[in-house]
Structure 1
Amino acid sequence: MSDTVMLDAATETGAAMEEAVAVFMLHPENFGASVAAGYANPLAGYVAGRGGVLGEASGDTVGAVFAVFEPVGVAALWDEGVAVRGAAGAAEQYWTQAADFGRKYLSGAEGLERIAALGEKLIAATPIAGLPLYAGWRAMPLADDAPARALQVMFVLRELRAAVHFNALTISGITPIEAHMLNKGPQYASMFGWAEPYADGADKKDRYDEVEQATNRRMSEIFAGALEPAEAEELSRLSTAALASLKAAVPS
């Protein structure tokens, strides 16, 4: 019974947090904040900001860690972005933007302190081996106020699930473009910088399903190692509600 509870809770929490952080990352206000911080190209602010916790790495290294992005474009955006504030400065700026976005749009959600507290239990209990972006972001200091801290914790946990997923995807032999086509299709493939023609990966559909199952299974193990079943269900419920509150508050 508890295995099913943990699997469902981990899957639902992961989906809610992924979408909530994507709302922040992709919103025009966030892009505007990057421009105001000196990044003429807000995508360069995103790449340098999100990847900045890796330190003064090469663009090729950042492209490898980002995994599902077209690597040549990511490397160019990285070089453009780190020229503005450096790697550490970019990460600090992006972290500030996440906190500000949370304060502005997440303050109406219930249970933000619990989201942060339960999320931090997961973060503290999860080993960092093989999860470089997660390792970098979990070392960043969290804001003191609940709305900012909750969104930042969601951000870190999103990086955790993404890193677990990227590892499973790499092992599977599915290419990044095939993964996009099997997941959300050509619009996402284009958004992540890939040029047509797109290999559809149709012959690897079963393998992609196995990647998703492996990711969710590993995340459920992480949940089980840190939370009681009731806590996992609470985090799932509160995260889903926080996403709804965020979407209702953010202007389209």
Structure 2
Amino acid sequence: MVSDLQRMEIFECIAAVARPIHDFGDEFMSDEATAAVGLGAGFSPGRGFYCRGRFGVLGEVSVPVVQAVQGFLGPDLITAGWSAGRAVMPAEDAAARYAQAVREWGRANIPADVDVEHFNRLAQQLIDAADADALPLFAGWRAQPCPVDDPIGGAMQRIHVLREHRGACHLAAVRLSGLSAREAMVVNLGVEQATHYGWQEPRPAAASLIPRWRRAEQCTNELQAPLYTALGDRQRTEFARLVDALTASPTP
């Protein structure tokens, strides 16, 4: 049984690592260096490499399946990106190339003085302990091979896997809270950014939706909490410190 004190410490750890993990993954996804990897692999400019690579762990599925699993990106963006990428390479190969890009970006951007070996041990404990039921995108990325001889790249891949876990939990929490994915994007990011992420003519969020989004955030933390029981109190403190150091501003 988890004590009230342990529960508080778990939620403190979740709060400390959620934003850095999310934002560091965003840095990778939006970096021109990542786009260049896709171009070099034969993908055209646009979202083909992103869609085919990130969601390729699902296998050769239809566009509606990809849309249902990822949720937060507009359907037109997914349709265009997934369809464009299909002609370049099979989904499994695209996912492997995307994982390679994740690791390459990590080697270029993770600070050299971070104890990635210790981070990898703690992060892998979390990843191994996760219940992947109803989280297929996370399950796909957890199954993606991670080379043992590339600790820095492996650290970035584990950041990506943990990011997919929270993202999948958040999608479930959003729907449980009575929000659509489109509404959640507008509440969280605003109309302009929701448009950037593929939603066509999103409307400003009604004030009544904001409490629902806050409930979704809390529910996301609740869904992630069992993960962090895999670490002891001291390990959670160390993990939060390592995430902060690992996700420091990328090097120029």
Give how far 1:20 is off: 1.0
Q: Secondary structure at the match of 2:47?
A: helix
Determine if the alignment matches structure 1 residue 32 to structure 2 residue 48. Answer: no
Which residue pairs with 2:217 in the alignment? 212
- Residue number in structure 2 paired with 1:68: 72
**Structure 2: how far apart are the matches of 1:158 and 1:231?**
19
**Alpha-carbon distance in 2 for matches of 1:102, 1:201:** 39
| 8 A Cα contact 2:117 2:151, kept in partner | yes
Given candidates 101, 124, 129, the residue that maps to 1:125 is 129
Taking the aligned partners of 2:93 and 2:68, their CA distance within structure 1 comes to 21
Residue of structure 2 in register with 1:189 after alignment: 194
Q: TM-score, normalised by structure 2?
A: 0.94
- Give distance in 2, aligned partners of 1:25 and 1:145: 20
Name the CA distance, whole Å, in 2 between partners of 1:93 and 1:152.
12
Q: How many residues align?
A: 247
Contact 2:47 2:77 (8 Å CA) reproduced: no
Unaligned runs of 5+ in 2: none
The question of 1:154 aligning with 2:159 is answered: yes
Q: Is the 8 A contact 2:138 2:168 kept in 1?
A: yes
- Give 2:246's aligned residue: 242
TM-score normalised by structure 1 residue count: 0.94
Offset at residue 21 of structure 1 (A): 1.2
Partner of 2:84: 80
Comparing 64-73 with 119-128, which one deviates more in the overlay? 64-73
Shift of 1:109: 4.2
CA–CA distance in structure 2, aligned partners of residues 123 and 114 of structure 1: 14
Cross-structure match for 1:58: 62
1:165-204 alignment, distance < 5 Å: 165-204=170-209
- Cα deviation, residue 128, structure 1: 1.1
Once the 2 structures are TM-superposed, how far is the Cα of residue 76 of structure 1 from its aligned partner?
2.2
After superposition, residues 86-101 of structure 1 pair within 5 angstroms as 86-101=90-105
Tell me, yes or no, if the aligned pair for 1:35 and 1:42 is still in contact at 8 Å: no
Deviation at 1:107, TM superposition (A): 4.6
Change (3 A) 1:231 1:222: same
Q: Letter of the 1:57 partner, please give it.
A: V
Where does residue 228 of structure 2 map in the other structure?
Answer: 223
More helix by share: 1
Extract structure 1 runs of 4+ deviating beyond 6 A.
none
Return the match for 1:45 from 38, 43, 49: 49
